[in-house]
Amino acid sequence: MNRKVMIITGGSRGIGAEIAALAALEDYAVCISYVQNQAAAEAVVDTIVRSGGEAMAVKADVAVESDILRIFDTVDRQFGPLTALVNNAGILEKQMRVDQMDVARMQRIFTTNIIGSFVCAREAVKRMSTLHGGHGGAIVNISSIAARAGGPGEYVDYAASKGAIDTLTIGLAKEVATEGVRVNGVRPGVIYTEIHASGGEPGRVDRVKSAVPMQRGGQPVEIAQAVMWLLSDKASYVTGSLLDVTGGR
């Protein structure tokens, strides 16, 4: 009855894969989604299963509503009632100024990062909220410190999409506060993952780390630990909060 079930969007690598590993250690049955990298997703699942945990991977693009519905339906059938959602999947594109961006790019960024997170949150609330007969749960949205910094000269579109994620966190937290569902955000600083290669600069963390008060980039596990705390009962009075995990930036 007390089974813990978590969906992590974009769990095949980077921050999402670390969250999956920690969640399994805390006895969650874990469903990760991925969009392209099946081998990496299977490796995350295999590691958990070989250690005695429960995990599965679903290929699903969070920019496509029917794909998201398939993640949630699969979890309903195979794992049972959802107790945690981590809206982690997010993209950025090649570094450029706003005056160079075309609409197709803006649509890709906003659809994946904003609408994808909204639809996943909607599906989670439908299952967790006591208003809908659920037993409560917790949502963590992965934002970015870019929401505060703005991403000038690199990706203001991405930064703006994370600003929307922060507002989703604050508004949805208030909407469901009396329905057993907590909603919080984590805003990572610069973290060593492959996302920076998508922006055309794989070594970006090392270039900018001198601007971080702690003088280093972060590791994905340092974000995952913050996420796990927010999802846990230790954060039982925390909702609508945005936790910066940035080395002081």
Stretch that binds ligand NAP, among 76-84, 123-131, 183-191, 229-237 (CB under 6 A): 183-191
Is residue 35 a contact residue for ligand NAP (CB under 6 A)?
Answer: yes
CB 152 within 8 A of CB 208: no
| Contact string 97-126 vs ligand NAP (x = CB under 6 A) | ---------------x--------------
75/57 Cα distance (integer angstroms): 10
Site for ligand NAP in 126-165 (CB under 6 A): 142, 144
Is residue 194 a contact residue for ligand NAP (CB under 6 A)?
Answer: yes
Is 192 assigned a catalytic role? Answer: no
In 3D, which of 71, 113, 83 has the Cα closest to residue 198? 113
Is residue 58 a contact residue for ligand NAP (CB under 6 A)?
Answer: no
CB 190 within 8 A of CB 205: yes
Question: Residue 137 is which amino acid?
Answer: G
Structure tokens belonging to residue 86: 């981590």
86/32 Cα distance (integer angstroms): 10
38/33 Cα distance (integer angstroms): 10
What minimum distance in Å lies between the beta carbon of 14 and ligand NAP?
Answer: 2
Chain-centroid distance, C-alpha 38: 18
Site for ligand NAP in 3-32 (CB under 6 A): 9-16
User: Interface with ligand NAP by CB under 6 A: which residues?
Assistant: 9-16, 33-37, 40, 61-63, 88-91, 112, 142, 144, 188, 190-191, 193-195
Residues that are catalytic: 158
